[in-house]
């Protein structure tokens, strides 16, 4: 396991949300965007279709090997957030109607990456 | 036991929803999900509030389980179809729990809530009214639940399948930072355990992989299907998903879920622990 993938669970367990996370191993809901990354490597954003939020769907984070790391349901505003580790990730969006989208994203400690994903 | 005995798909649920003797149950980690919308006629079970003893670290006893199911209007001879978010983690946990207390006819909705949502199927907010029943729970079936001493005795003898992420397995991470009360004192894994993250068993849409694909995943990781198996994770719900794969889908005998999992094992005094990526 590489150092980059070495902190992948952080993305899974610290993914956004509070209530859902309290259960333990989970994939919590989107949650409001944050503005201060602190010492985290934040990947967050919003999924839209024709300019409107996609409120039903899922954001998945895959590591550099394409392996699943974490998944969160999109918030009502189409929002999602992961606390990843520094490195390169693939964000994959699943939404109704067979909608699939993905893009590469680089995360860095102390930095918030904001993504606008149009599907 | 075959796949069709324990898994149903969304079309089946739509065709049979409302049939007498069928109860849909949503089990979520995020318990607000049900309130925002659920499959018509589904009742809710809260994996923590309803299934865990509020004081001791253990499950509600058989009397408590009987009271819960009675209150939810579930009878002993009902067919219970469980589904939930997170690729059915907590639904699988509840499935194992229903089996622990001897419920005969339980099934999972393959793909759970995610696949249902992605297919834009109907969700409603109306909460069904079910008349209370007099449910009778059996004593726990301890052939599917492992305790710490059995786990220690299994080192080097049985399959120990650690279904956490590679980082938890290696000891680089202990637990979510949000949950100090559940944190183990040490990181790492049980010696000889094979690390096969739960997600290897699921497709992107949350459905289970085919039997052949599942066998390949575990075989490649060094699991010996000829010997007994104990699965564990951090608190026992991801490993319930893997228990379901081994015991219910692949028909393996003698498979146990160690619900104490790493939060217990990693806090025990004097037990062997291995760190790093190797088993």
CATH number at residue A114: 2.60.40.10
Mean pLDDT of successive 10-residue stretches along chain A, which has 119 residues: 34 34 40 71 92 94 83 91 85 95 92 93
| Second CATH level (architecture) for the domain B3-118 | 3-Layer(aba) Sandwich (3.40)
CB B29 within 8 A of CB B90: yes
Name the minimum distance, in Å, from the CA of A114 to any CA of chain B: 23
Instruction: State yes or no: pLDDT of B246 exceeds 60.
Output: yes
Distance from C-alpha of A14 to C-alpha of A82, rounded to nearest angstrom = 7
Long-range Cβ contacts of B171-176 (<8 Å, 24+ apart): B171/B273, B171/B275, B171/B276, B172/A6, B172/A7, B172/A9, B173/A7, B173/A9, B173/A10, B173/A13, B174/B266, B175/A13, B175/B234, B175/B262, B175/B263, B176/A13, B176/A14, B176/A21, B176/A24, B176/A25
pLDDT of residue B180: 36
pLDDT of residue B174: 67
Judging contacts by C-beta atoms under 8 Å, the chain A residues touching residue B237 are 24-25
For the whole model, what pTM was predicted?
0.87
Q: Quote the number of domains for chain A.
A: 1
pLDDT in tens, B7-39: 999 999 999 999 999 999 999 877 788 999 999
Element (H, E) at A103: strand A99-107
CB B236 within 8 A of CB B207: no
pLDDT level of residue B6 (50, 70, 90 thresholds): very high
Return phi, psi of residue B134, to 5°.
Answer: -120, 80
Name the minimum distance, in Å, from the CA of B267 to any CA of chain A: 17
DSSP B207: P
Do the first three CATH levels of B3-118 and B148-265 match, i.e. the same topology?
Answer: yes
Choices 3.40.630.40, 1.10.10.10, 3.40.50.10860, 3.40.250.10: CATH for B148-265: 3.40.250.10
Q: 3-class DSSP state for residue B112?
A: helix
DSSP B141: -
pLDDT in tens, B47-80: 889 999 999 999 999 999 999 999 999 999 999 9
A66 touches chain B (CB under 8 A): no
Nearest residue of A to residue B234, measured between CA atoms: A25
Measure CB to CB from residue A24 to each of B31, B197, B234 and give the nearest one: B234
User: Residue B233 catalytic?
Assistant: yes
pLDDT in tens, B138-184: 999 999 999 999 999 999 999 999 998 887 888 876 644 333 334 66
Across the interface, do B167 and A25 touch by the CB < 8 Å criterion? Answer: no
Domain ranges, residue A70:
5-118
Any idea where the domains of chain B sit in the sequence? 3-118, 148-265
What is the number of alpha carbons within 13 Å of residue A104 lying toward its C-beta? Answer: 6
Mean pLDDT (whole number) for B66-95: 96
pLDDT of residue A39: 74
């Amino acid at each position: 396991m590489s150092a980059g993938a070495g902190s992948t669970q952080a993305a899974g367990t610290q993914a956004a949300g509070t209530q859902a996370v309290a259960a333990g191993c989970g994939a919590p809901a989107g949650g409001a965007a944050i503005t201060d990354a602190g010492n985290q490597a934040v990947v967050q954003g919003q999924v839209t279709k024709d300019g409107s939020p996609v409120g039903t769907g899922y954001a998945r984070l895959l590591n550099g090997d394409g392996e699943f790391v974490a998944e969160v349901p999109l918030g009502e505003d189409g929002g999602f957030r992961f606390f990843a580790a520094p490195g390169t990730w693939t964000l994959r969006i699943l939404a109704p109607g067979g909608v699939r989208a993905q893009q590469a994203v680089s995360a860095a400690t102390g930095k918030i990456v904001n993504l606008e994903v149009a599907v | 036991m075959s796949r069709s005995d324990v898994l149903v798909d969304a079309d089946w649920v739509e065709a049979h929803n409302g049939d007498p003797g069928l109860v849909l149950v949503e089990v979520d980690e995020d318990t607000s999900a049900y309130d925002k919308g659920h499959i018509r006629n589904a009742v809710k079970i809260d994996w923590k509030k309803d299934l865990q003893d509020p004081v001791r670290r253990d499950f509600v006893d058989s009397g408590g389980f009987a009271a819960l199911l009675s209150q939810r209007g579930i009878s002993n001879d009902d067919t219970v179809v469980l589904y939930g978010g997170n690729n059915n983690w907590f639904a699988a946990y509840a499935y194992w729990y229903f089996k622990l207390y001897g419920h005969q006819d339980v099934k999972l909705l393959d793909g759970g809530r995610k696949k249902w949502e992605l297919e834009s199927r109907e969700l409603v907010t109306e909460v069904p009214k079910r008349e209370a029943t007099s449910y009778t729970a059996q004593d726990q079936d301890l052939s599917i639940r492992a305790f710490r001493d059995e786990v220690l005795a299994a080192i080097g003898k049985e399959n120990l399948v650690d279904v956490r992420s590679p980082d938890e397995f290696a000891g680089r991470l202990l637990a979510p930072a949000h949950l100090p009360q559940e944190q183990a004192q040490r990181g790492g894994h049980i010696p000889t355990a094979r690390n096969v993250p739960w997600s290897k068993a699921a497709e992107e849409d949350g459905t289970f992989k085919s039997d052949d694909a599942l066998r390949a995943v575990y075989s490649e990781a060094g699991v010996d299907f000829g010997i007994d198996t104990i699965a564990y994770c951090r608190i026992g719900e991801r490993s319930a998903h893997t228990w379901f794969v081994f015991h219910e889908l692949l028909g393996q005998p003698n498979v146990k879920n160690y619900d104490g999992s790493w939060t217990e094992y990693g806090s025990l005094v004097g037990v062997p622990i291995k760190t790093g990526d190797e088993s």
